[in-house]
Amino acid sequence: MLTLSKKILVAIDGSPQSDKAAEEAVRLASISGSKFRSKVYAILVLPNMKTSSFADFLPSKPPTEQPDWQGKRDRLFYVVEKVAADAGVELEAMVVYGDPAEELIAVAEENECDVIVIGSSGKGRVKRTLLGSVSTKVALHAHCSVYIVR
pTM for this entry: 0.84
Contact in structure between 101 and 137 (CB atoms under 8 Å): yes
Buried b (16+ CB within 10 A) or exposed e, 54-74: eeeeeeeeebeeeeeeeeeee
pLDDT of residue 65: 76
Choose among 146, 133, 117: nearest CA to 20.
Answer: 117
51 exposure class (CB count in 10 Å sphere: 0-12, 13-18, 19+): exposed
pLDDT of residue 52: 56
What residues pair up with 115 in beta bridges, in sequence order?
8, 145
pLDDT of residue 104: 96
Alpha helices in 10-60 (DSSP H): 16-31
Block mean pLDDT (10 aa), the chain, length 150? 74 92 94 78 85 58 81 94 95 95 96 94 54 84 93
* CATH superfamily for domain 7-47+65-149: HUPs (3.40.50.620)
What is the dihedral angle through the alpha carbons of 57, 59, 60, 65, rounded to the nearest 10 degrees? Answer: -130
